[in-house]
Amino acid sequence: MPPADDTSAAGGDGDDLDAPEIAIEDPGSAAAVDDPVRPPRGTGRRLHGAIAHKLGVAIVSGHYAPGDRLPGEVAYSGELDVSRGAYREAVQVLTAKGLVESRTKAGTRVLPRNRWNLLDPEVLAWAFTGDPDIGFIRGLFELRAIVEPAAAALAAERRDRADLKILKDALAAMTRHSLATEAGRTADRDFHSGILAATKNDALIVLSSSIGAAVNWTTVFKQRARALPRNPIPDHRRVYEAIAAGDAAAASMAMRVLVELALEDISRMAGEG
């Protein structure tokens, strides 16, 4: 699911092409949450991408509810001193992700949640910028519990030497860096994506970016208040060993346990366990 940040706005002003870049705060930071609408200043990301980020966070966090109308491009661009073209491009990003719909005279309105592309990696990032609903997190884990054990079983049957090297290298990097670091979390994403790639099933491989994003953001979420409640790397090692041994049943079971334990960690943090 490729990101839509580079979507061009049809009929745009043209002046936004040279607009200064502005920075995006780290998800979960006070600056990112306190003002869900105003784009941050500085350098880093293209202007329309920053506007899309801020509006996306505001929508997913509930600042704008389904049916609400977003600010008009004239008012919004004037208030923030950004081009109307940049605002229109940002709205196109949100439209492509199913968050909003624009109609002549009716303006741009937030669509019902069931229209949102919740598996888009950027939408997942927006959801975890604030405090995501535990029901939403549980839904992600239910999806993973359906997809990943079956994928691990297929990977055990179809993996080749190159697939095993990717998984082994990712596991080694996770062990070396720990999941408390960005390098470790990147390796974690590579591990889960590597399993999907090893299935040789294109329909499953398409889910790699979404599954990887879900893995990453739930791990980040678990570490916001304190260190990880336990070390999940041994769970990953058991999955790898079963896949390397070509044992589909064991790979499926090991992955199911990995996902269930990760959900238990989240539930304890939320006071459910």
Element (H, E) at 107: strand 107-110
Q: What is the pLDDT of residue 66?
A: 96
Give the total number of structural domains in the chain: 2
Q: Are residues 174 and 251 in the same domain?
A: yes
Q: Are residues 150 and 260 in the same domain?
A: yes
Q: What is the pLDDT of residue 40?
A: 46
Domain that holds residue 58: 15-117
Q: What is the pLDDT of residue 255?
A: 98
Q: What is the pLDDT of residue 17?
A: 30
Give the pTM.
0.76
Q: Are residues 169 and 84 in the same domain?
A: no
Q: Are residues 106 and 158 in the same domain?
A: no
Domain edge (last residue) among 84, 117, 150: 117
Q: Are residues 243 and 204 in the same domain?
A: yes
Which CATH number characterizes residue 95's domain?
1.10.10.10
Closest CA to 120 of 255, 217, 30: 217
Q: Are residues 93 and 174 in the same domain?
A: no
Q: Are residues 173 and 85 in the same domain?
A: no
- For residue 236, how far is the Cα from the chain centroid? 21
In whole angstroms, what is the distance from residue 259 CA to residue 176 CA? 22
In whole angstroms, what is the distance from residue 134 CA to residue 140 CA? 10
Token digits for 170?
A: 């990712």
Q: Are residues 23 and 110 in the same domain?
A: yes
Q: Are residues 139 and 211 in the same domain?
A: yes
Alpha helices in the chain (DSSP H): 30-34, 47-60, 73-80, 84-96, 121-127, 134-158, 161-177, 182-198, 202-205, 208-222, 233-244, 248-269
Q: Are residues 111 and 161 in the same domain?
A: no
Q: Are residues 108 and 142 in the same domain?
A: no
Q: Are residues 82 and 36 in the same domain?
A: yes
In whole angstroms, what is the distance from residue 83 CA to residue 78 CA? 8
Instruction: Note whether residue 106 is domain-resident.
Output: yes
Q: What is the pLDDT of residue 14?
A: 36
Q: Which residues does 246 contact at the CB level (< 8 Å), separation at least 6?
A: 156, 157, 159
Instruction: Note whether residue 125 is domain-resident.
Output: no
Instruction: Note whether residue 183 is domain-resident.
Output: yes
Per-residue pLDDT of the chain (273 residues; tens, 9 = 90+): 444 443 333 333 333 333 333 333 343 343 443 444 454 443 334 677 888 998 999 999 899 999 999 987 777 777 767 788 888 899 999 999 999 999 988 889 999 999 999 999 999 999 988 778 888 889 999 999 999 999 999 999 999 999 999 999 999 999 999 998 999 999 999 999 999 999 999 999 999 999 999 999 988 887 775 666 688 999 999 999 999 999 999 999 999 999 999 998 888 776 654
